[in-house]
């Protein structure tokens, strides 16, 4: 069978160039792409070969020994793993909904501000925490919440008589009852400002004539927010939720810098559990850590597929 040629709308037949010739003609683009391809192969795909060690006993000493599904059996029968798995879903999903809700509310109020200078200043202030590393954020809040005399929050509680002046303050980050609420508050403080960007972009695209029509009909500001602004944001809110839901299993850094062994039952997540199994054991079994990481990746893959399906249903197109 001969080569297929392209035929233009006017009926002129154009001979199709061979693949090698097309690559040669665009060699400059391929040369520019080559470093990126090499980087992906080395740092993204080559490590994936290590997945096979989920079926091995692989320790720092000795040769890997094939054990089949032993690590998966151990994982599914370990309470600490299921606690970490449950915490991952709870922390990620609650954080996602809280941050999205806060971003929407802040975006609407910023959009309603008439003073441009005040609006830009406030935007800058609420954006700044996003650019701080989690290590710095954890240090700041650890100082604020310290149970010692240097802790600002405990100092205020003692001044108000809630905590005895001669007693030890509340160690918020080591108390299971306080850790999660504080974690959510810290995440809202750090990420809400950045999350408003996409919603403000959507709000700027709303047709001003809709608000003018609302003024003519005698609608109040709250009524215009309810019947014009929020419906315009609905599709963007759904899209943001779907896109971020696919990343719920990636929770690590924000938890790692804030938790400790006193709050493992409410703070330990899959990624920190894997970290401890790999780096905090006297003789770690890399095979078991790999098995847990593989299961986490599979759950994340399933979430991506589900979110892609949900995206097609709501937006008409997928995320992948």
Tokens standing for residue 72: 């998966």
- d(CA 301, CA 304) in angstroms, rounded, equals 5
Give the chain's domains with CATH numbers: 80-315 (1.10.3720.10)
- d(CA 296, CA 294) in angstroms, rounded, equals 5
Is 2 a residue whose pLDDT tops 50? no
Average pLDDT on 286-291 reads: 92
Q: 144-198 pLDDT, tens per residue?
A: 888 876 788 888 888 787 776 666 778 888 989 999 999 999 999 998 988 888 8
Chain-centroid distance, C-alpha 44: 19
Return the C-alpha torsion angle 183, 187, 188, 189, nearest 10: 100
Report the 10 Å Cβ neighbour count for 153. 18
DSSP 220: -
> For tokens 């199994």, what's the residue?
277
Residues 6+ apart with CB under 8 A from 153: 144, 145, 169, 172
Residues 6+ apart with CB under 8 A from 250: 271, 300
One DSSP character per residue, 161-199 reads TSS-TTS----GGG-HHHHHHHHHHHHHHHHHHHHHHHH
Task: Name the residue with higher pLDDT: 113 or 8.
Answer: 113
Q: 65-96 pLDDT, tens per residue?
A: 899 899 999 999 999 999 999 999 999 999 99
Task: Name the residue with higher pLDDT: 10 or 307.
Answer: 307
Task: Name the residue with higher pLDDT: 56 or 235.
Answer: 56
| Cα Rg, the chain, nearest whole Å | 27
Average pLDDT on 274-300 reads: 89
- Compute CA distances 71 → 47, 57, 217, 299, whole Å: 20, 8, 67, 17
pTM of the model: 0.82
Average pLDDT on 219-223 reads: 82
Tokens standing for residue 218: 């005698």
Among 144, 95, 27, 124, smallest CA distance to 253 is for 95
């Amino acid at each position: 069978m001969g080569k297929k040629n392209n035929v233009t709308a006017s009926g002129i037949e154009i001979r199709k160039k061979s693949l090698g010739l097309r690559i040669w003609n665009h060699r400059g683009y391929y040369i520019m792409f080559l470093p990126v391809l090499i980087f992906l192969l080395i740092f993204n795909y080559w490590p994936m070969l290590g997945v096979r060690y989920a079926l091995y006993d692989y320790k720092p000493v000795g040769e890997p020994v094939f054990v089949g599904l032993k690590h998966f059996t151990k994982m599914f029968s370990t309470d600490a793993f299921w606690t970490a798995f449950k915490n991952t879903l709870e922390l990620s999903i609650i954080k996602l909904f809280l941050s999205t809700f806060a971003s929407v509310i802040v975006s609407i109020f910023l959009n309603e501000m008439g003073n441009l200078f005040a609006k830009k200043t406030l935007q800058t202030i609420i954006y700044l925490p996003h650019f701080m590393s989690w290590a710095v954020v954890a240090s700041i809040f650890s100082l604020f919440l310290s149970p010692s005399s240097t802790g600002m929050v405990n100092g205020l509680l003692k001044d108000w008589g809630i905590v005895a002046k001669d007693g030890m303050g509340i160690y918020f980050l080591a108390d299971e009852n306080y850790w999660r609420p504080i974690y959510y508050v810290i995440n809202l403080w750090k990420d809400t400002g950045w999350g408003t960007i996409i919603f403000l972009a959507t709000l700027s695209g709303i047709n001003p004539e809709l608000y003018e029509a609302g003024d003519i009909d005698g609608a109040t500001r709250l009524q215009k927010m309810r019947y014009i602004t929020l419906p315009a944001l609905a599709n963007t809110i759904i899209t943001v939720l779907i896109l971020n839901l696919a990343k719920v299993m990636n929770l690590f850094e924000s938890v790692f810098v804030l938790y400790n062994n006193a709050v493992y039952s409410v703070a330990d997540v899959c990624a920190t559990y894997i970290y401890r199994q790999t780096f905090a054991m006297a003789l770690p079994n890399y095979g078991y850590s790999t098995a847990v990481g593989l299961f986490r990746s599979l759950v994340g893959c399933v979430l991506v597929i589900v979110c892609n399906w949900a995206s097609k249903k709501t937006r008409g197109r997928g995320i992948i």
